[in-house]
Amino acid sequence: MSNIIGIDLGTTNSGVAIVNNGRPQMLPYGEKNIIPSVVGRAPNGKWLVGTPAWNQYILDPDNTAVSIKRHMGEDYHVDLGDKRLTPAQVSALILRQLKIIAERHLGETVSEAVITVPAYFSDSQRQATRDAGRIAGLKVQRIINEPTAAALAYGLNLEEDKLILVYDLGGGTFDVSLVELMGGIVEVLASHGDTHLGGDDFDYQLARYLADRFDEENDTDIWGDSRAQARLLRAAEQVKIKLSNRPFAWVKEEYLFEKDGIPLHFEHEVSRSLFETEIKPLLEKTAASIEQVLQDADISAEEIDRVLLVGGSSRIPLVRQLIIDLLDIEPEIGINPDEAVALGAAVQAAIIQGEPIDAILVDVTPHSLGIATAELRLGTVIPDQYKVLIPRNSTIPISAEELFHTLYPGQTKIEIQVYQGEKEIASQNRLLGEFLVENLEATTDEGRAQITVRFDFDMDGILQVTARDRATGQEADMTIEASLKRLDETDIENAQNDISALRPLPDTTKALIARANALLANETDGMDKVMYEKLETLLSDIALAQVNHDVLRIDELSETLLDFLFDLE
């Protein structure tokens, strides 16, 4: 076993890993694989590191240091209790805690480490990191770049020539690097980033938004109070994390503030779309950095082989979307982004000691999982769209939740069809199961019902699908055994044949739909609004019947449509 430990000394969280029997693994502390990079001084003079320090931050932010990495190498200090500390000294307390965690696991003294730093760290920032190690009693065997560590963690075959983009969005810093693997050497070709951009900023943005809502409700100025501010920041972070796999989340803070001696509570629901609007300008900066890196290295997007996501904030769904929109590559999140860098540091440590290393084993979903939806575009129903809730290669267990609404006003039931696969047309994937949700009640102004669909996928490949009516809270669910194996081509073909046999609409119905669509397209010819809506509803009903494989209903609706068109034309 290698006894040089690998350390990710992060802005928000830090972690320690080791290679054991060829396998890189995190060394957990209690239930968690990472600890908050927070240091505090308790009133009794005791040093607090990690979660206890983070808990103290709410009560006593002035005696607690967060995000110290932002100041590494600067002429800067923090006062904690009666002690004045440099950033290297604060970092040393975090490193010392990680050293203790490792020693407890290994049952022996640990004295050497590989520590990671962002690729853009200057010499003085790297030196401050070495100093921190020395103060903590660790000989720093090597300082390596975080993107290099990530590439190592992903077990990339170093001998293969590849261009990898590592997008690392953590708590306090953003860093994008273009890494070239060539002849066993990992080289950072270009890197760009922002030392003051990350999850903390998203929390801040959201906390300010919440403070404004609170002030509106109570005619207060809550932001001026440092304890209330710390609580709002923490609440914002919790909501942000929840919104990574669900469309809405609640903030509930009791006794948040006091006004004229009266305690004030706060409850507010935040939607993912609001959060995305708040952080979009910040994420756009990361897109600009990607473009900068490509330009600096004189590389076009098409030349990139893989995109690796690192850092806790890269779990935000909008990040994945941004990469796809910008580079047209599905980014990889196979390894827990919070752990990738520490695991890579452990791999580097093992390499230094000449230890053999196996690939990191992660359980991932081999296929995307989603549901069939229909869309209304310019008055035409486009059925059989595939909306992915859990993208393939997601680490399991995983949960995801999305919001949907009914297609037309007054619709009271929907059929949830669960598919597994990668095709954009839902029915070309493998149908895993279907169930009906009934008695829906309208919530939107146009009279549509809103339904949240939640997927919970566990380690055994069991998928629990829950649909919930937002108006009534009523739920319907089903449990499905999803495949953890990759389907082979014949499986996929068979699955497609099974389903497409049920699919096509009769030619007569197709012709009627074409006629109806032509009429709708020329709607300016003076068609009555009521007629227009009736026609639209009929088309939606047919689409729905098609999605539900309801052949009898399709026949019935086709006849109604025929009569209706006859009248109209």
* 331 touches ligand AMP by CB under 6 A: no
Q: What is the DSSP letter of 557?
A: H
In whole angstroms, what separates CA 431 from the centre of its chain? 25
Q: CB of 247 within 8 A of CB of 402?
A: yes
Tell me, what amino acid is at 19? V
Binding of residue 509 to ligand AMP (CB under 6 A): no
**Residue holding tokens 């680490």?**
395
373 binds ligand AMP (CB under 6 A): no
- Distance (Å, rounded) from C-alpha 188 to C-alpha 165? 10
Q: Tell whether residue 13 is a contact of ligand AMP (CB under 6 A).
A: yes
Q: Which stretch binds ligand AMP (CB under 6 A): 44-52, 234-242, 270-278, 551-559?
A: 234-242
User: Which one among 50, 133, 171, 193 touches ligand AMP, defined by CB under 6 A?
Assistant: 171
Please pick, from the candidates 338, 339, 384, 536, the single residue that binds ligand AMP as defined by CB under 6 A. 338
Instruction: Give the distance, in angstroms, between the CA of residue 121 and the centroid of all CA atoms in the same chain.
Output: 26
Tell whether the torsion through CA atoms of 500, 506, 509 and 510 is positive or negative: positive
Q: Does 311 bind ligand AMP (CB under 6 A)?
A: yes
376 neighbors 405 (Cβ within 8 angstroms): no
Nearer to ligand AMP, 37 or 406 (CB): 37
Size of the site for ligand AMP (CB under 6 A): 19
69 counts as catalytic: yes
Nearest CA-CA partner of 198 in 175, 223, 226: 175
Q: CB of 52: closest distance to ligand AMP in angstroms?
A: 18
Exactly one of 168, 278, 402, 541 is catalytic; which is it? Answer: 168
Q: Are 377 and 422 in contact (CB under 8 A)?
A: no
Residue 316 within binding range of ligand AMP, rule CB under 6 A: yes
From 71-79, 184-192, 306-314, 415-423, span contacting ligand AMP (CB under 6 A): 306-314
Catalytic, out of 69, 131, 180, 541:
69
User: Quick check: 36 binds ligand AMP (CB under 6 A)?
Assistant: no
Region binding ligand AMP by CB under 6 A among candidate stretches 4-12, 127-135, 223-231, 457-465: 4-12
CA distance 554 to 509: 8
**Residue 241 binding ligand AMP, by CB under 6 A:** yes
Least distance from C-beta 311 to ligand AMP, angstroms?
4
Residue 244 near ligand AMP by CB under 6 A: yes
- The reply to whether 237 sits near ligand AMP by the rule CB under 6 A is yes
Q: Which is nearer to ligand AMP, 279 or 492 (CB)?
A: 279
8 Å CB contact between 431 and 416: no
336 binds ligand AMP (CB under 6 A): no
Shortest Å distance, C-beta 340 to ligand AMP: 9
The span from the CA of 146 to the CA of 131, in Å, is 18
The strand ranges marked E within 118-171 are: 139-145, 162-169
Judging by DSSP bridges, how do beta strands 47-49 and 39-41 pair with one another?
Answer: antiparallel
Give catalytic status of residue 563 as yes or no.
Answer: no
- DSSP reduced 3-state for 255: strand
Q: Which range in 138-146, 196-204, 268-276, 401-409 contacts ligand AMP by CB under 6 A?
A: 196-204
Based on the residue annotation, tell me whether 498 is a catalytic residue of this protein: no
Helical pair 199-218 and 272-297, crossing angle rounded to 10 deg: 150
- Say whether residue 339 binds ligand AMP (CB under 6 A): no
| 168 among known catalytic residues | yes
Minimum distance of ligand AMP from residue 237's CB (angstroms): 5
- Identified binder of ligand AMP from the candidate list 24, 133, 170, 391, rule CB under 6 A: 170
Question: What backbone torsions phi and psi does residue 424 show, to the nearest 5 degrees?
Answer: -70, -30
For residues 144 and 126, give the distance between their C-alpha atoms in angstroms, rounded to a whole number.
10
Our CB check for ligand AMP shows the closer of 237 and 536 to be 237
* 199 makes contact with ligand AMP (CB under 6 A): yes
Among 315, 320, 430, 468, interactor with ligand AMP by CB under 6 A: 315
Q: Which amino acid is at 247?
A: P
CA distance 50 to 46: 13
Largest CA distance in the chain: 88
Q: Which of 146, 384, 401, 402 is catalytic?
A: 146
User: Residue 429's closest CA among 496, 368, 382?
Assistant: 496
User: Binding to ligand AMP by residue 12, rule CB under 6 A?
Assistant: yes
Would you call 238 helix, strand, or coil by DSSP? helix
Between strands 398-405 and 450-457, the pairing is antiparallel
Q: Map the footprint of ligand AMP across residues 409-438, applying CB under 6 A.
A: none
**Which residues are identified as catalytic?**
8, 69, 146, 168
**Interacting residue ranges for ligand AMP, rule: CB under 6 A:** 10-13, 170-171, 198-200, 237, 240-241, 244, 311-313, 315-316, 338
